[in-house]
Structure 1
Amino acid sequence: MKTELTVTGMTCGHCQKAVQQALAQVPGVQQAEVDLARGLATVTGTADLSALIAAVTEEGYAASPAHGA
């Protein structure tokens, strides 16, 4: 299953890496990719949407389901 999140608050490569690592640690995530330019995170696996959003929020960024996801 693929889940896309809109992530706001990222301004640099460090932000991108922090969000990607946080998402990768959520149980059920097989792969996490974060596109800084588009403010989009794509997660593959069975992780719960609320857990993904919580992981991003704990890093200090905002996340919501991407439009059309």
Structure 2
Amino acid sequence: MQAPQVHTLNVQGMTCEHCVKTITEAVRARDPAAEVKVKLAGGEVRVSSSLSSDALIVAIAEAGYGAGLA
């Protein structure tokens, strides 16, 4: 694994704290050491992880949310 990097993603469809929990769990299922910060109002998710942006986008998409690079 590579050194952690901060990735900023735009995520569509987040409306509540349950969404925050779901996204956080989806990312941490792939990288348990990931730090996830979610801003519901702006649809922004910042992740410090050794995973690539593409891998994070896939994990979030598999949890049911649209995601892309900010």
Aligned residues: 66
TM value normalised by structure 2: 0.82
- Give 5+ residue unaligned stretches, structure 1: none
| Counterpart in the other structure of 1:6 | 10
What is the CA deviation profile of residues 40-69 of structure 1, one whole-angstrom value per residue up to 9, with x for unaligned ones?
A: 111112111111001110111000001xxx
Q: What is the CA–CA distance in structure 1 between the aligned matches of 2:33 and 2:18, rounded to whole Å?
A: 21
CA contact (8 A) 1:28 1:47 kept: no
RMSD between superposed Cα atoms in Å: 1.5
CA contact (8 A) 1:6 1:39 kept: yes
What is the CA deviation profile of residues 9-57 of structure 1, one whole-angstrom value per residue up to 9, with x for unaligned ones?
A: 1111111110111112223753111111121111112111111001110
Q: Percent identity?
A: 36
| Counterpart in the other structure of 2:25 | 21
| Counterpart in the other structure of 1:37 | 41
TM value normalised by structure 1: 0.83
Name which of structure 1's ranges 7-16 and 25-34 shifts more when overlaid on structure 2: 25-34
- Give 5+ residue unaligned stretches, structure 2: none
